[in-house]
């Protein structure tokens, strides 16, 4: 079978697997709207993430994302850049392919709880509190509250991760995600 014929056949299968009906589009679009409203991110960021959760195959090129979501190259590039910097999406290089592929990072939820940015934030908060050392308590209160919250979170996160791991183990052998 000639290469172009095989490629057309692969592309047809790819298109069929990634068919997005109205219900699926409503999910993808609603996720974009939620991420925009809740996190202040461009709606396309949420749409890309939602699509990567449900597409088949789970790895998609930027061109495939563009086609599936009816988006511009710039919108897709910005969305995957934000998702990758947030450790939610991985960029994959497949040997023999020119285009990178993107997928939802395995165990991304665990990494969100383990976020090392909290330790860095607490260093900055300490720097801010030091700069405000001679200021009235009312001026320091917001930073102090944030520091207390981060300290609490750092103490709770390992317990939450352990609980999550235990819970995932209970799901093994059952029909669960």
Q: Which fold has domain 3-105?
A: Arc Repressor Mutant, subunit A (1.10.10)
94-103 pLDDT, tens digit per residue, is: 888 889 999 9
Higher pLDDT, 21 or 127: 127
The C-alpha atoms of residue 152 and residue 122 are separated, in whole angstroms, by 12
| Upper half-sphere CA count for residue 61 (Cβ side, 13 Å) | 12
DSSP assigned state of 107: T
pLDDT of res. 109 = 81
Whole-model pTM? Answer: 0.75
Average pLDDT over residues 137-144: 95
CATH class of the domain defined by 111-171: mainly alpha
11-33 pLDDT, tens digit per residue, is: 444 444 567 889 999 999 999 99
pLDDT of res. 95 = 86
* 144 touches 135 (CB < 8 A): no
C-alpha distances in Å from residue 121, one per residue of 1, 86, 146, 154, 159: 58, 15, 10, 12, 21
Please, where in the chain does CATH 1.10.287 lie? 111-171
Q: Place 1 in a pLDDT band, splitting at 50, 70 and 90.
A: low
Please, where in the chain does CATH 1.10.10.10 lie? 3-105
57-76 pLDDT, tens digit per residue, is: 999 999 999 999 999 999 99
Q: How many CB atoms lie within 10 A of CB 158?
A: 11
Q: Place 118 in a pLDDT band, splitting at 50, 70 and 90.
A: confident
Using DSSP's 3-state secondary structure scheme, residue 16 falls into helix
């Amino acid at each position: 079978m000639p290469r172009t014929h095989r490629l057309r056949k692969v592309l047809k299968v790819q298109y069929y697997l990634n068919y997005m009906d109205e219900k699926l589009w409503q999910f993808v679009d609603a996720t974009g709207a939620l991420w925009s409203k809740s996190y202040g991110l461009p709606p396309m960021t949420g749409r890309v993430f939602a699509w990567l959760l449900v597409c088949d195959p789970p790895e998609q090129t930027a061109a495939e994302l563009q086609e599936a979501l009816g988006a511009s190259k710039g919108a897709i590039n910005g969305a995957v850049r934000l998702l990758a910097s947030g450790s939610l999406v991985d960029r994959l290089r497949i040997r023999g392919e020119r285009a990178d592929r993107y997928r939802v990072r395995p165990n991304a939820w665990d990494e969100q709880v383990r976020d090392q940015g909290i330790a860095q934030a607490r260093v900055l908060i300490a720097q801010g509190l030091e700069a405000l050392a001679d200021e009235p308590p009312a001026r320091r209160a917001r930073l102090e509250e944030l520091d207390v919250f981060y300290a609490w979170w750092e103490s709770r996160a390992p317990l939450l991760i352990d609980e999550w791991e235990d819970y995932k183990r209970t799901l093994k052998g059952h029909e669960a995600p």
